[in-house]
Amino acid sequence: MTVTKRFIAGAICPRCAEMDRIRSWEQNGIRYRDCVSCDFFEQLPIEDEAEPELETRVNREREEQARSDLQTVKILDPKGH
């Protein structure tokens, strides 16, 4: 039986921090993930545990936007009044 390993777009490796290097596949009720750039490897049972969301550039940007400070905008009158 051939197992199809798929890359996870935008995923960042938790060990080497390289983007788009994580592969994921399932076999015998276990989900596997590994990095093609370093020796990161992880296995998670599919039934017992929900897979944590991988860090991607999209959810990292959302987190950074939530932490950014609000700035006041002053509207200027173009006529100078």
In a domain, 29, yes or no: yes
| Domain count across the chain | 1
In a domain, 80, yes or no: no
CA distance 7 to 26: 13
What CATH number is given to the structural domain containing 45?
2.20.25
Look at residue 77 in the predicted model and tell me its pLDDT.
83
In a domain, 79, yes or no: no
| Burial (0-12, 13-18, 19+ Cβ within 10 Å), 31 | middle
Look at residue 47 in the predicted model and tell me its pLDDT.
64
In a domain, 1, yes or no: no
pTM: 0.54
Q: Which residues contact 14 (CB under 8 A, 6 or more apart)?
A: 40, 55
In a domain, 49, yes or no: yes
| Enclosing domain of residue 17 | 6-67
Task: Provide the residue type at 43 as one letter.
Answer: Q
- Tens of pLDDT, residues 3-54: 899 999 999 999 999 999 999 999 988 999 999 999 999 998 876 555 667 7
- Tens of pLDDT, residues 41-73: 999 887 655 566 777 877 777 777 766 666 677
In a domain, 21, yes or no: yes
